[in-house]
């Protein structure tokens, strides 16, 4: 059997733990000297009890975790393969991915294993997708060179007589990934069904695939993204609500596939009524113009955000590809309803409060919470929930905002020179001054039903108002807060 350890992507711990005999030993998470015949690794409980656990590794912050197997699922024709390709191209080129940053230190190489479309179709898609990267103001010839080296497409030679199941091919794929200059950060398998043996509905038949995809991730240190389908009745024409269509239970086949994936990304087209609720064109929605993307499962952290993508038209650059809608957050909040708009406003209030104080260290958090949730019985509890949301978005790393957090604050109207002025409690956008209905300050506490949350990938359009109250008075927000909507969710 091939030695999988030769493909490993080692990451050393900051210090070597010491065994009971006083001798230094390798990191408890890496075992480079294990003999091939040893199938099990004994965990180091002394280390686990004594030391803090390592943070969750992200390849793309809040979107794709690093080094684990996952799934990108949607109905046929929703844009799964093209979305995976656009993510892979952005990653390999050195740019951000859908507005998110790539974690420093993570490898950016991408191995794209295409078993459905041939090389000619892949070529056409690459050329159509390239303008999406070139639109980025940071794009340079250096990014093009990185893309050339870092994205490696593979296509099966059907005449070779080889078996192209993942069980038969994972060691060969690991070798190809190891050869990418700078290392491989992501492997795309297009599609799961073409690399699995037997019946998708059988847990027994899917076990070899599940074991092989985990071995491939462990051997390479890369995220392995398998493209998969959802079952019938999970498109925009169904009676299911959007959050139901963006639930892992929508995946086609055996539940063992869902269980084996450490993360799941899902795409779901908006229905005409959902699009109209957000002020979008219902007829365009019928043609699949608007697609929600959600990190619907994440085994080692909170579930990620939902973002709105828009399909490029045939006469536009990047035709057929999905790109981030500039008002992703606001439109998804409108679809979800008044409570979601309120929650979005409160989250922005917390962010601006932290920015105004120059960080958590200079802020009276209890007083700030009381201003934002004046009618809540537990404003500090609501504040702490929002801090957790900001951390998940990648905007807060205690005690300060991250670069992305400062950028978001500036979009919302924060002036950078005010960072040390101690204006963190000047929250004119609290429910009392924005005309929200009575009792709105309790909305987050009453949310018990399953829901999705808009993500941080979009940006507000329009001018940068100096105060949150001006942001709340924009027609798009005030209408959502003041009017009653029939939400098709």
In a domain, 489, yes or no: no
Same domain, 406 and 279: no
Round to whole Å and give the CA distance between 33 and 53: 23
CB atoms within 10 A of CB 420: 11
What's the pTM value of the predicted model, to 2 decimals?
Answer: 0.71
Same domain, 325 and 351: no
Same domain, 210 and 321: yes
Look at residue 417 in the predicted model and tell me its pLDDT.
Answer: 60
- Show the tokens assigned to 189: 């398998």
In a domain, 352, yes or no: yes
Q: What is the 3-state secondary structure (H, E, C) of 305-361?
A: CEEEEEECCCCCCCCCCEEECCCHHHHHHHHHCHHHHHHHHHHHHHHHHHHHHCCHH
Boundary (domain end) residue, out of 334, 367, 383: 334
Contact criterion met (CB below 8 Å) for 77 and 288: yes
Boundary (domain end) residue, out of 300, 318, 334: 334
In a domain, 53, yes or no: no
Same domain, 280 and 362: no
* Number of domains comprising the chain: 2
Q: What is the domain-level CATH number for residue 164?
A: 3.40.50.300
Contact criterion met (CB below 8 Å) for 152 and 180: yes
Same domain, 274 and 289: yes
Same domain, 290 and 378: no
Round to whole Å and give the CA distance between 480 and 77: 32
Round to whole Å and give the CA distance between 164 and 197: 9
In a domain, 353, yes or no: yes
Which DSSP string do the residues of 254-265 spell out, in sequence order? -HHHHHH-SEEE
Residue 240: left if φ>0, alpha if ψ -120 to 50, beta else—which one? beta
Same domain, 262 and 362: no
Contact criterion met (CB below 8 Å) for 294 and 304: yes
Contact criterion met (CB below 8 Å) for 272 and 422: no
- The neighbouring-strand residues paired with 294 are 266, 306
Boundary (domain end) residue, out of 334, 361, 392: 334
pLDDT by position in tens, the chain (length 489) = 444 444 444 443 333 333 334 444 444 455 444 445 578 889 999 999 999 998 888 898 888 999 999 999 999 889 999 999 999 999 999 998 887 888 888 889 999 999 999 999 999 999 999 999 999 999 999 999 999 999 999 999 999 999 999 999 999 999 999 999 999 999 999 989 999 988 999 999 999 999 999 999 999 999 999 999 998 877 666 778 888 888 898 899 999 999 999 999 999 999 898 999 889 999 999 889 999 999 999 887 766 678 899 999 999 999 999 999 988 888 888 888 766 777 778 888 899 899 888 899 888 999 999 988 888 889 899 999 889 888 877 788 888 898 888 888 888 888 876 444 333 333 333 333 333 333 333 333 333 333 333 333 333 333 333 333 333 333 333 223 333 323 333
Which DSSP string do the residues of 219-243 spell out, in sequence order? HH--EEEEEEEBPTT-STTSSS-HH
Look at residue 213 in the predicted model and tell me its pLDDT.
Answer: 95
Same domain, 310 and 415: no
Containing domain of residue 273, as a range? 62-334
Q: Which of 273, 333, 281 is nearest to 307 (CA)?
A: 333
Q: Which of 28, 6, 9 is nearest to 17 (CA)?
A: 28
Same domain, 208 and 295: yes
Task: For residue 206, give Cα distances in angstroms to 168, 196, 256, 355.
Answer: 14, 7, 7, 49
In a domain, 47, yes or no: no
Same domain, 154 and 186: yes
Round to whole Å and give the CA distance between 240 and 255: 20
Round to whole Å and give the CA distance between 306 and 478: 22
Which DSSP string do the residues of 365-410 spell out, in sequence order? HHHHHHHHSTT-S-HHHHHHHHHHHHHHHT-EETTEE-HHHHHHHH
Task: For residue 265, give Cα distances in angstroms to 109, 204, 297, 459, 468.
Answer: 20, 24, 7, 21, 32
Round to whole Å and give the CA distance between 39 and 350: 49
Alpha helices, DSSP H only, in 100-165? 119-134, 141-150
Cis previous bond, 40, omega within 30? no
State how beta strands 69-74 and 223-229 pair.
Answer: parallel
State how beta strands 184-190 and 223-229 pair.
Answer: parallel
Same domain, 343 and 326: no
- Show the tokens assigned to 43: 């965990």
In a domain, 79, yes or no: yes
Same domain, 94 and 235: yes
In a domain, 247, yes or no: yes
In a domain, 327, yes or no: yes
Contact criterion met (CB below 8 Å) for 128 and 321: yes
Q: Which of 391, 409, 393 is nearest to 454 (CA)?
A: 393
Q: What burial class does residue 273 get, using C-beta atoms within 10 Å of its C-beta: 0-12 exposed, 13-18 middle, 19+ buried? A: middle
Round to whole Å and give the CA distance between 24 and 16: 6
């Amino acid at each position: 059997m091939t030695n999988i350890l030769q493909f490993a992507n080692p990451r050393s711990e900051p210090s070597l733990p010491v065994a009971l005999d006083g001798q230094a030993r390798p990191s408890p998470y890496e075992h480079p000297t294990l003999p091939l015949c040893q199938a099990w690794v004994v965990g180091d409980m002394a280390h686990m009890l004594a030391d803090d656990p390592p943070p969750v590794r992200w390849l793309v912050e809040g979107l794709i975790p690093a080094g684990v197997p996952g799934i990108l699922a949607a109905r046929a024709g929703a844009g799964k393969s093209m979305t995976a390709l656009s993510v892979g191209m952005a990653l390999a080129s050195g740019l951000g991915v859908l507005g998110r940053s790539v974690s420093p230190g993570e490898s950016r190489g991408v191995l794209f294993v295409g078993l459905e479309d041939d090389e000619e179709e892949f070529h056409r898609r690459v050329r159509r997708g390239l303008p999406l990267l070139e639109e980025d103001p940071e794009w340079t010839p250096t990014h093009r060179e990185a893309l050339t080296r870092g994205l490696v497409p593979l296509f099966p030679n059907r005449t070779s007589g080889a078996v192209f199941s993942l069980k038969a091919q994972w060691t060969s794929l690991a070798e190809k990934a190891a050869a990418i200059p700078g290392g491989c950060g992501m492997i795309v398998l297009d599609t799961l069904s073409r690399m699995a043996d037997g019946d998708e509905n059988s847990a027994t038949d899917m076990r070899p695939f599940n074991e092989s995809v985990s071995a491939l991730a462990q051997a390479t240190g890369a995220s392995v993204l398998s493209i998969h389908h959802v079952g019938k009745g999970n498109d925009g024409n169904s009676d299911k609500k959007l959050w139901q269509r963006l639930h892992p239970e929508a995946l086609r086949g055996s539940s063992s596939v869902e269980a084996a994936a450490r993360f799941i990304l899902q795409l779901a087209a908006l229905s005409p009524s959902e699009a109209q609720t957000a002020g979008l064109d219902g007829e365009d929605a019928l043609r699949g113009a608007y697609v929600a993307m959600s990190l619907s499962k994440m085994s080692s952290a909170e579930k990620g955000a939902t973002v709105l993508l828009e399909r490029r038209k045939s006469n536009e650059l990047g035709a057929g590809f999905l790109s981030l809608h500039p008002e992703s957050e606001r439109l998804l909040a409108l679809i979800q309803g008044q409570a979601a708009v309120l929650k979005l406003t409160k989250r922005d209030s917390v962010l601006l409060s932290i920015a105004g104080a120059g960080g958590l260290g200079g802020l009276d958090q209890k007083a700030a919470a009381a201003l934002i949730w004046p009618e809540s019985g537990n404003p500090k509890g609501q504040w702490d929930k929002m801090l957790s949301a900001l951390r998940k978005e990648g905007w807060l790393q205690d005690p300060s905002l991250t670069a992305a957090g400062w950028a978001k604050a500036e979009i919302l109207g924060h002036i950078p020179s005010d960072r040390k002025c101690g204006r963190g409690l000047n929250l004119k956008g609290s429910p009392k001054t924005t005309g929200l209905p009575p009792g709105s300050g309790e909305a987050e506490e009453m949310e018990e039903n399953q829901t999705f949350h808009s993500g941080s990938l979009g940006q507000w359009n329009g001018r940068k108002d100096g105060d949150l109250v001006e942001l709340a008075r924009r027609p798009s927000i005030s209408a959502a807060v003041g009017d009653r909507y029939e939400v098709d969710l």
